Structure 1
Amino acid sequence: MNNTVKDLKFKIFQSGNPLFLYIGINVIIFLVTAIIAVFLFLGRTDFIIGDWIREYFGVPAQITALPTRFYTIFTYMFVHDGFLHLLFNMLGLFWFGNIFMNFLKPRQFHFVYLAGGLVGALIYIAGLNIIPAFADGLINRTVVGSSAAVMAIIVATATLVPNYSIMLLLFGEVKIKWVAIVYFLLSFLGLSSANAGGNLAHIGGALLGFIFIKSLQKGADWSKIFERKPKLKVVRNEQPTPRKPVFNEVSQQEIDAILDKISSSGYDKLSATEKEKLFKASKD
């Protein structure tokens, strides 16, 4: 058991693979809140942790709530509304994240995931406040989940390598560009559903993933903001160490004679003494 925990700890926090990091963080947060919910239920308390998480960690639709909940545009992408919500997001992140990591750098994964989640939150807020159809349902409305961040990874991967194929149950071998297109269309069609806000966030994440790859292909890597700058090394201007005199024990004339012999007769024709002198000269 200890070895399993150590292996998981290494994969999530020490392996340097952002795919495992984000899956690990999402799963850990879900498990902790689920366990707390069980104890609250057994204690017959009126406190519902799911509602509390939505209120304080989900992105509010009302702009007036943002000054006190500004941090939620980051926290919302690490909490989920139920096991199936978590499961499907993590499966999508795992499948497409592995492909992403085969072609791009960890810092680019970090950027696409986090920026996709942030853009998804902003599109969610803007869409619900600007589009007339949603104007009457903003009070106490929030969004949670990593779907926007995962959508950014999916679309970025499909934009980068659109003809990369994966095996899907019932469908067989499918190019990932079609998977990404279906995801996007479902999100667009879902704008008329009860989860319109969540689908707006999905669309925001998808746009970020697509634009990031197109910019990257043109030579602009936005993820360089995460690049570690090398530390400056101060070098003192010291006098160079004087070189040892060449051939301390063997004269230059002797070495020249030995080299001439090698040129004319080969190394094998040298005597043991000549070989020893050459060896000493090379050491000096």
Structure 2
Amino acid sequence: MLPIADTVRSRSFPLVNWLLIVANVLVFLSEPGLERGARALIFDLALVPARLLADPSPRQLITLLTSMFLHAGWLHLFSNMLALYIFGDNVEDRMGSGRYLLFYLICGVIAALTHVFFNPDSRVPTVGASGAISGVLGAYFVLFPTARVTTLVFLLFFPLFVEIPAVIYLGLWFLSQLFSGTFTIVAGLEAYGGVAWWAHAGGFMAGVLLVRLFARRAPRRWYTDEYWPW
């Protein structure tokens, strides 16, 4: 299932959300043109659990932040930025730009630490904004459960666009991450498919638990979406 849009419109311009998207895209576009030494620098900026635990110095601790602005490929970047574009504007709208940025970074760090906890011996570099974005999804799950997510699905190879309640779409997504993460433990794998499942699960739970500390109170509405009618 590929999310295309949601039914909740932001009441303010999501400045920080767009800056995060632009920053991630610019960093990714700069990677192919880098010299070998600079590429080694990118490796140094990635999160490596075993390296961090062996040397928890500021140089390694900063990778909890820097790793979330690096991506492994076009599909990795596109899927992350699409999710951030669809769900991030509404979360920023409810939090305010400053609090949203802090929330995003905190969720990203918690997601990274969750990945380290479940993969302490891993020497595989971990990159991507998906942990922080998972926190945004967790916040959206709490703030906009009755919103609908327009989703592209394929039925016998025929594309269909369906609207799925956010609480169902995001709830199933979280359960899939939790199941996949549990499978890696049972199977004795660090990950499969090149995905840090526990980072996603940890980021989502961080978003669910922290959102009320950052979100501003919304006026009570008896509409399907709290901002309807526009």
* TM-score of Structure 1 vs Structure 2, range by shorter chain: 0.7 to 0.9
Q: Counterpart of 1:167 in 2: which secondary structure?
A: strand
Q: Which of 134, 146, 153 matches 1:151?
A: 134
- TM-score, with normalisation over the residues of structure 1? 0.59
Indicate if the aligned counterparts of 2:95 and 2:216 stay in contact, CA closer than 8 A: no
Unpaired runs of at least 5, structure 2:
1-12, 153-159, 185-190, 218-230
How far apart are the structure 2 equivalents of 1:51 and 1:180?
36
In structure 2, the residue matched to 1:175 is 165
1:91 alignment partner in structure 2: 82
Shift in Å at residue 176 of structure 1?
Answer: 1.3
Identity of aligned residues (%): 24
* Post-superposition CA distance 1:53-80 (Å, at most 9, x none): 2x30111111104324121001000000
Superimposed CA distance per residue, residues 13-69 of structure 1 (whole angstroms, 9 cap, x where no aligned partner): xx8710111001000000011233xxx6xxxxxx4866652x301111111043241
1:24 aligns with 2:12: no
CA separation in 2, counterparts of 1:59 and 1:213?
Answer: 25
CA distance 1:58–1:90, change in 2 (3 Å)? same
Letter in 1 for 2:146: N
Instruction: Show the counterpart of 1:59.
Output: 47
Q: How does 1:1-284 map onto structure 2 within 5 Å?
A: 17-36=15-34, 47=36, 53=42, 55-62=43-50, 63-67=53-57, 68-129=59-120, 138-169=121-152, 170-191=160-181, 192=184, 193-194=191-192, 198-215=196-213
TM-score, structure 2 as length reference: 0.72
SS of residue paired to 1:34: coil
Gaps of 5+ in 1: 1-14, 41-46, 130-137, 220-284
Greater fraction of residues in helix: 1
Distance 1:182 1:34, change over 3 A: farther
Relative distance call for 1:26 and 1:216 in structure 2 (3 A) is closer
Cα root mean square deviation, aligned: 2.5
Q: Is the 8 A contact 2:174 2:204 kept in 1?
A: yes
- Contact 1:124/1:197 (8 A) holds in 2: no
Pair member with larger Rg:
1
Task: Tell me how far apart the structure 1 counterparts of residues 91 and 125 of structure 2 sit (CA, whole Å).
Answer: 30
The one-letter code of the counterpart of 1:160 is: L
Q: Deviations over 1:131-152 (max 9, x none)?
A: xxxxxxx252221100001111
Partner Cα separation in structure 2 for residue 181 and residue 79 of structure 1:
27
Please list every run of at least 4 consecutive aligned residues from structure 1 whose deviation after the TM superposition is greater than 6 angstroms: none
Equivalent residues of 2:72, 2:128 under 8 A apart: yes
- Describe the superposition over 1:145-168 as per-residue Cα deviations: whole angstroms up to 9, x where unpaired: 000011111110121110011321
